[in-house]
Amino acid sequence: NKEIEEWLHRSLVGTVEEPRDLASLSSALICDFDPNVKLSALSSLKFLLIFPSMERMEEALMQPETLYHWFSEIKRWGVEEFCDSRRVWLNIVGVPPQGWLWENFKRIAELWG
C-alpha cells in the first residue's frame, strides 16, 4: 500500500535501553523536540518516530544529538524492522466458523509482510 509505505519512509526507529511508556515519551518529544512528530510503539524498547515530511526526518538524522537524549539508537525505518513481542486482537466480521483456521489468519497477516 503506497500510503503506508510513504509514511514509513519518513519514519525513524528509536531504541531505548529500558522499557518506556509511550504516553510519557510522546509527551516529552512533543514538548522538547517537535510537536509534529508522531510516536508509535513497536515494543517497549523500540519506537517509530513518524515525521511530517522527508525533509524534517533528514534534518533530525543530520543532528541526532537531541534524539539521543531519549534514545540510545536512532536509524531509518527499514523492512527488516518488526516486533516479535507485540500481540494484536483482530475483529473480523463475516468469517464463517469453517474459516476460523490459523492458516487463514496467517495468510491475511502475510499480506502485510
State residue 84's pLDDT score: 63
Query: What's the CATH number where 69 sits?
Result: 3.30.70
State residue 87's pLDDT score: 62
Is 108 among the domain residues?
no
Range(s) of the domain holding residue 42: 2-76
Is 100 among the domain residues?
no
pLDDT digits (tens, 9 = 90+) for 50-61: 999 999 999 999
Is 104 among the domain residues?
no
Q: Measured between alpha carbons, how far is 49 from 12 in angstroms, rounded to an integer?
A: 5
Report which of residues 82 and 12 the model is more confident about.
Answer: 12
pLDDT digits (tens, 9 = 90+) for 70-81: 999 999 998 777
The number of domains in the chain is 1
Is 90 among the domain residues?
no
Is 109 among the domain residues?
no
Counted residue by residue, the chain has a size of 113
Q: Is the dihedral of CA 1, 64, 16, 70 positive or negative?
A: negative
